[in-house]
Amino acid sequence: MNRLARIGAATREGWHRSLRLAALSAGLLGLAVRRSRWPRTTRNVLARQLLFTGVFAARFIGIVAVAVGLTVVLQAKVWLAHAGQSALVGPLLVAAIVRELGPLLVNFIVIGRSGTAIAAELASMRVAGEVSVLDAQGLDPMAYLVLPRAVGSALSVLCLTVLFIALSLASGFLGGWLLGAQMGPVGAFLDSVFGAMNPADVLNLLAKSLAPGWLMAVICADEGLSVRGSLTDVPQAASRAVTRSVAALFIVSAFVSILTYL
């Protein structure tokens, strides 16, 4: 009975967390479409979030994309060429990089880089009393602290995913050509890739980029603002935020894939 009680308590807690996350996300979406919620101060926070999450991470994303492109594109070309199935290069690259690897790896990097920063920053502000000061001054903490970070993270993940896919395909083709692999002309390579894509792949890319990026920021902000103790609770909040963000990433990715391709 004790074991069943623990399972039930964990299930109920997870359900409550999911409902809280859904309510926060819905409320923030309602704020995002209201022009009055975007004064100059909030736009400045959005610009800083785009700069930190998107621009500053582009270099590292590019390095990872080049490595992935050299590995996946070259290996796919070599394996399929030996098997006499060169026409399957495009569908394989779309399935591996566009549908799965691109959004997944970019979200992992953003969670580890920006998610922890959001949780730690807001937790420190909560402990130091800065959130209470903003509230006393008439500034809604959700609109000023969470909304621009959620929008900035979602847009950054989308742009970084597109950058990742483009650099992966380009580096893979160029690397294969330099190593002497029979890559064929550039036009044929691009035709095989874009010919394998369909509208469902575009929707899949948008959903797997925007939704996890948005949820990551909401989860990390929620964990940071939930801190009530001392500064020693800040690392714990950041750890919980990363764990929950990774779980949300896999759940959303699986759900989107099921809705898109089944």
pLDDT at 84: 53
Rounded Cα distance, 239 and 179, in Å = 43
pLDDT at 219: 94
Phi then psi for residue 186, to 5 deg, are -60, -40
pLDDT at 2: 75
pLDDT at 80: 61
Rounded Cα distance, 245 and 122, in Å = 16
The pLDDT tens digits along the chain (262 residues) read 677 777 777 778 778 888 888 888 999 999 899 888 898 989 999 999 999 999 999 999 999 998 888 887 777 666 665 555 555 666 777 777 888 889 999 999 999 999 999 999 999 999 888 888 888 887 888 889 999 999 999 999 999 999 999 998 888 778 777 766 566 677 777 777 777 788 888 899 999 999 999 999 999 999 999 888 777 888 898 999 999 999 999 999 999 989 887 7
pLDDT at 1: 62
**Half-sphere exposure (CA, 13 Å, Cβ side) for 114?**
31
pLDDT at 207: 93
Rounded Cα distance, 52 and 75, in Å = 34
User: Which two tokens mark 244?
Assistant: 């929950």
pLDDT at 83: 53
Note whether 205 and 161 are within 8 A (CB).
yes
- Supply angle C-alpha 47, 49, 53, rounded to 5: 125
pLDDT at 58: 94
Q: Would you kindly state where each structural domain of the chain is located, as residue ranges?
A: 39-261
pLDDT at 103: 93
